[in-house]
Amino acid sequence: MSTETVTRLSRAQMAWRAAQDIADGTYANLGIGIPEQVAQFVPEGRQVTYHTENGVLGFGERPPQGEEDYDLVNAGKKPVTLLPGASFFHHADSFAMIRGGHIDVAILGAFQVAPNGDLANWRAGDDAVPAVGGAMDLVVGAKSVWVITSHVTRTGEHKLIERCTYPLTGVGVVSRIFTDVAVIHVQDGRFVLKEMVPGMTIERLQEMTGAPLVTEGEVGTLSPPTVG
Amino acid sequence: MTARAKVVEKPVMGIAEALADVPDGATVLVGGFGGAGSPIELVHALIDQGARDLTVVNNNAGNGDVGLAALIRERRVRKMICSFPRSANPKAFTELYLKGEIELEVVPQGTLAERIRAGGAGIPAFYTPASVGTPLAEGKEVRTFDGRDYVMEHWIRADYALVKAETADRAGNLLYNMSARNFGPVMCMAAQTTVVQVRNVLEPGAIDPEAVVTPGIFVDRIVQVANPAQEELLFAEGAVYP
């Protein structure tokens, strides 16, 4: 399928768009990769506390080069800094925060998402070494689970599909999907199209999507500023 | 309480002495999340000690050629129980795994932490929503509570725990350093013999009881390592052990 005439969002722009949806007063857990970038783009004035499953609430930016301390890292094992009001806790408490429903939103990547909210994001086949990390706990525990992903794979295959074919991370967990061409809400077993990039048509987006897209009211324009 | 009463003190031992009795076939909890909290010196002492056929519980499965990766490369580990057997350089584990020469039990990270906590707390099993409907729940009991499905998971109890903390007093009370705390407190609880390596050893009373993170009851042996190595920095240097 050809998409030459539409502009796709950069990774940073996808993170920017997800960041706009983070409400004031949120406790958020951001997955490794694009979701980590969301923190850079949350609108000023909103209070957001970031949780990392290895036992920190209230961490901030990466430290300046030369000031890294590898005893203070995020889930991606990257050095971070602390904001005033930060706290440390052990792993069982950290996952009590997650499973106990104290984290408002978790943002993750995906291999596949289905309209029933099923997510596959930990294993794409049987060949590699399986590694799950904290994803299965996050998706069942966070109050909302959002996904940031390219709309299709590099080879053009569907990632938003009727039924996940890869091993599941969680069942019926995803509520919003931010792709490089669209914003889709997962509601009542359907993909509800909320926004798409300029130049995109619903027909063309449907071709790029492996399950029916429905609309409820007007479809907005997905047009982030140049960021990142 | 008489004026003569004193709290129990834990032995401060040499590193080889602290691990001398680890038998072949032992289950060993190894603290750390990547390099943060990784008790490199204790793991290297375990390599020197020679115990084999170990079951090791750690969040990961080693990085590069030091610490847990070196223990695995030396073929001392029969089975890894972990959530994420990947790292910047996981080759020690990956090579043996792909050859079928090391067992792997992958556990969701929160389930891993809670299984260890349960082991330390005397709770043989519990129900968690994590992994329901996924391949990691296959063969496990699922029960419905208040309309939602949960999978039963068993405790993990170990023969030894090797944990890195920042400061101990001689009563065994521990303070950690920032996110190096991670699995340390639950692992200290869940082993028959808990060996901690700490930068500082203080007299009882030198740590504010309000600030104690791991109470000394969960600690059996203290080893002072005044200048511990950091796994990431060793990795960056291309260090190899032994």
pLDDT digits (tens, 9 = 90+) for B182-214: 999 999 999 999 999 999 999 999 999 999 999
pTM of the complete model? 0.96
The alpha carbon of residue B157 is apart from the nearest alpha carbon of chain A, in Å, by: 15
Which chain B residues contact residue A137 at CB under 8 A?
108-111, 128, 130
Catalytic residues of A: 53
Decide: helix, strand or coil at residue B125: strand
B216 touches chain A (CB under 8 A): no
Q: Are B51 and B159 in contact (CB under 8 A)?
A: no
* Chain B, nearest residue to A128 by Cα: B98
Task: Judge whether residue A177 has pLDDT over 60.
Answer: yes
Burial A86-97 (b: 16+ CB within 10 A, else e): bebbbbbbbbbb
Position A3 pLDDT exceeds 60: no
Q: Which residue of B has its CA nearest to A77?
A: B34
Under an 8 A CB cutoff, do B113 and A92 touch?
A: yes
Give the pLDDT confidence score for residue A127 in this predicted structure. 66
Question: Residue B203 burial (CB < 10 Å; 0-12/13-18/19+)?
Answer: exposed
pLDDT score of A96 more than 70: yes
Reported ipTM: the value is 0.96
Q: Which residues of chain B have pLDDT under 70?
A: 1-3
Q: Which of B107, B113, B102, B117 is CA-nearest to residue B140?
A: B107
The CA distance from B49 to the nearest CA of chain A, in Å, is 27
pLDDT at residue B62, rounded to an integer: 96
pLDDT score recorded for residue A67:
94
Does A130 reach chain B within 8 Å, measured CB to CB?
Answer: yes
Average pLDDT over residues A79-83: 96
